[in-house]
Amino acid sequence: MSDRPPPIRDVSVIGLGSMGAGIARTFIERGCRVSVWNRSREKVDALVQAGAIACDGPRDALNASTHVIVCLSDYTVWRALIEAHSLTHHFDDTCIIQLTTGTIDEVQSHAALVHAHGGRLTDGAIMCYPSNLGTEDASLLMAGASNVLKECDPVLRILDAKWTNLGEDINGPAILSRSLMAGMVGSMMGLVNGAAICRAGGVSLDVFMEFNERSTGVILAEKKRLVEAIRDGRTEETQASIKAWREGNQALLSVAKTLGTNRMFQEAVQAIFQEGRKAGLDEHDLSALVNVFDPSPE
């Protein structure tokens, strides 16, 4: 006999930006009764056309379902709504699935507020595009009390069948999602910067992309090796030292200067390499730069 909680068919969604609307549509497509609210009515009406139930205010959305997903631009907006509509009086016996991006302090104070008024809470982060929700490419990070996560499992599975349970530390999703974002932004910015240099130098972007695709497997393997080296404290073992990387980036700076492209990206990277040099890490592996970003690990 399965101990999985029964399906939850009633869900409310507060906040209908691109992600919030994508969440609501995913539930509608799965046959759920979805109540929605947004500050601009046209976004509500668009989802009503798809089968949602319109709420006149956030209070109505809280009262419409025991499980309420909040997906707003930031916590400041959510705090203002709570105060303007006296929403804390409607937290009792309500499970809030918080998917609004916030700081650690905001996540913690919000958790205390919800619990103080009799509500239940899970906090999470979505690491995919709205169109990926409900598909194999969905990526949902969640944290909270184990009993609440178990209760919310049927809802979360609709968005991501393999959602990631980060445990009871409510800060987990904020920390992990921003850490993953650091890697993605750095990688994407580097790609765009490389495309700019190729374009300025007359190298075909099709050729540039071909070589990027060829290196995908190598880069993925290297990312794994770097993290494992940091985890295991093996940052002195290297095939390419920080000094070699720094000199390579210096050569890239020279090329960018000759071609007249903006050099702020390479200069920022070079500054990090220089910090590694000051810390005596020149002959260490690239993974040793973790000691520049986090010089006093526990």
The superfamily CATH assigns to domain 10-169 is NAD(P)-binding Rossmann-like Domain (3.40.50.720)
Expressed in angstroms, the distance from the first to the final Cα of the chain is 44
Is 88 exposed, middle or buried, given 0-12, 13-18 or 19+ CB atoms closer than 10 A?
middle
List pLDDT tens digits, range 238-248: 888 999 999 99
Record the pTM: 0.86
List pLDDT tens digits, range 213-236: 999 999 999 999 999 999 999 999
Rg value, the chain, Cα? 23
What pLDDT score does 1 carry? 38
Q: Give CATH for domain 175-293.
A: 1.10.1040.10
Tell me how far CA of residue 222 lies from CA of 49, 216, 235, 287, 292, in angstroms: 48, 10, 13, 10, 19
Is 13 exposed, middle or buried, given 0-12, 13-18 or 19+ CB atoms closer than 10 A?
buried
What number is the average pLDDT over the span 106-124?
Answer: 97
Q: Cβ distance 256 to 217 under 8 Å?
A: no
Q: To which residue do tokens 């609709």 refer? A: 158
Q: Where are the domains of the chain?
A: 10-169, 175-293
Rounded distance, CA 104 to CA 208, Å? 39
Identify the three-state secondary structure at position 168.
coil
- CA dihedral 113→148→104→23, nearest 10 degrees, is -100
List pLDDT tens digits, range 154-201: 999 999 999 999 999 999 999 999 999 999 999 999 999 999 999 999
